[in-house]
Amino acid sequence: MAKEMKVTPWEVSGHIDYEKLVKSFGTQHVTPQLLRRIEKAAGELHFMLRRKIFFSHRDMDWILDKAEKGEKFVLYTGRGPSGDTHIGHIMPWIFCKWLQDKFDTELYFQLTDDEKFLHSDLSLEETNRLAYENALDVIALGFDPEKTFLFVDTDYGKTMYKIAVQVAKHVTFSTAKAVFGFENSTNIGMAFYPAMQAATAFLPSVLKGKKIPVLIPAAIDQDPYWRVTRDVAEKLGYYKPAAIHNTFLPGLQGPDSKMSASKPDSAIFTTDNPRDARKKIMKAFSGGAGTLAEHRKHGGNPDVDTSYQYLYNVFEEDDEKIKEIRNAYKSGAMSAGEIKEILAKKVERFLKEHQERRERAKHRIDRFMLKD
Ligand code: TYM
């Protein structure tokens, strides 16, 4: 039997039923009507919207209302620096870059060295170092330095703490326990931390001295934070942030497998040597039949095939091409080895280019960082 689904900001496991998450989290589906509105406002639809990879939202209509009236909204997203960046992490960032280009918006990007220190065995020195490493991946995606503001929690504490205490005063321990599953053994740093993640949704308003609409693109695991943030927003005189949620990219070991920094073969990391990434892809779970003869006869299953999933979610934007690959693989005309080869080539090229941009980002990082 499939393992029971668990989706929290710290653990995603089991077979994910997205329909069930929309219901239990109380979010809205991304509907064809909403997509038409986004298309009208942006001039086109990003492939992650066309494919319902961004499948759920809170108040996206309201963001579009604001945009239509000419009121600027800003983007907020982030990363918990617990290791190297993997391809799943960059999905919401790729989408943010598109939103920044289409809507000419600012992006606020939080790197939570405090959260990952509190939640793991890593030292604060290490999570702080990783935060700056992960920041290079964000910058390498091509964000506009004039409109993109990254910060590391413990290095921007003076500004952040003032907002976070305001939030914390309005969140009871019983709410925090119900939303995040804290127990008596949870350290009190973890109990406070949600106030830091909520605070960033109000940071643009604090910095600009007026109420600013905020849209948060992130995978759905982060939604518990937005529930708390939205609950306190109006009490503090801010707008409730809107959110748009993406699905999870699976690990390389198959549909319900997880990516983990401690298991190098479970994921492709942005810092992987392209040749090593190719080897990982060749070893990854495939939806092909046992032998080539059987595959030619019965075809493969793209819905569980790792290479197909990586192409669909990240590396093949062209709808026609992805459809061709799907059909060829399903019919057996394309072998498991061939689909792996298509992905490996794309990943090698991406890593090579990303790593060059990442090197250049080392000289530009100061232009992006907010400090007290
Ligand atoms: P973190 O570091 O766990 O994840 C970074 C971003 O990646 C998304 N994500 C994924 N997306 C697709 N497939 C996956 N397998 C996958 N795994 C993770 C996450 O949803 C997230 O968007 N607490 C946060 C840091 C944070 C933050 C934020 C994130 C602070 N403020 C605002 C998003 C928005 C964290 O540990 O993320």
The Cα–Cα gap between 56 and 216 comes to 12
The Cα–Cα gap between 98 and 101 comes to 5
Q: So what CATH class is 264-360?
A: mainly alpha
Among 109, 193, 73, 15, which Cα is nearest to 369's? 109
Per DSSP, 250 falls in state P
The arrangement of secondary structure in 6-248, i.e. its CATH architecture, is 3-Layer(aba) Sandwich (3.40)
Q: What is the average pLDDT value for the chain, to the nearest integer?
A: 96
**pLDDT value of position 353:** 98
Alpha carbon nearest to ligand 1 atom 26, residue:
78
Six token digits for residue 31: 């509907």
**pLDDT value of position 260:** 87
Answer yes or no: is the C-beta of 79 below 6 A from any ligand 1 atom. yes
**pLDDT value of position 2:** 58
Whole-model pTM: value is 0.97
Tell me the per-residue pLDDT of 170-207, one tens digit each, with 9 for 90 and over: 999 999 999 999 999 999 999 999 999 999 999 999 99
Q: Is the pLDDT of residue 3 over 80?
A: no
At residue 145, the 3 state secondary structure works out as: coil
Mutate to test the pocket of ligand 1, among 13, 79, 91, 312 (most ligand atoms within 8 A of CB): 79
Alpha carbon nearest to ligand 1 atom 16, residue:
88
Answer yes or no: is the C-beta of 266 below 6 A from any ligand 1 atom. no
**pLDDT value of position 261:** 83
Alpha carbon nearest to ligand 1 atom 18, residue:
89
Alpha carbon nearest to ligand 1 atom 35, residue:
80
**pLDDT value of position 262:** 83
Q: Is the pLDDT of residue 1 over 60?
A: no
Per DSSP, 143 falls in state -
- Please tell me the distance between residue 9's alpha carbon and the centre of ligand 1 in angstroms: 8
Q: Residue range 6-23: average pLDDT? A: 92
Is 6-248's fold the same as 264-360's?
A: no
- Please tell me the distance between residue 250's alpha carbon and the centre of ligand 1 in angstroms: 14
Q: Residue range 307-312: average pLDDT? A: 98
Q: Answer whether 240's CB lies under 8 Å from 266's CB.
A: no
**pLDDT value of position 73:** 98
Tell me the per-residue pLDDT of 124-150, one tens digit each, with 9 for 90 and over: 999 999 999 999 999 999 999 999 999
Residue 6, H or E segment: strand 6-7
Q: Residue range 108-130: average pLDDT? A: 98
Alpha carbon nearest to ligand 1 atom 27, residue:
78
- Please tell me the distance between residue 93's alpha carbon and the centre of ligand 1 in angstroms: 10
What percent of the chain is predicted at pLDDT more than 90?
Answer: 94
Tell me the per-residue pLDDT of 64-84, one tens digit each, with 9 for 90 and over: 999 999 999 999 999 999 999
Answer yes or no: is the C-beta of 221 below 6 A from any ligand 1 atom. yes
Six token digits for residue 259: 């990516």
End-to-end CA distance of the chain: 51
Name the pLDDT band for 288 (thresholds 50, 70, 90). confident
Indicate the domain borders of the chain: 6-248, 264-360
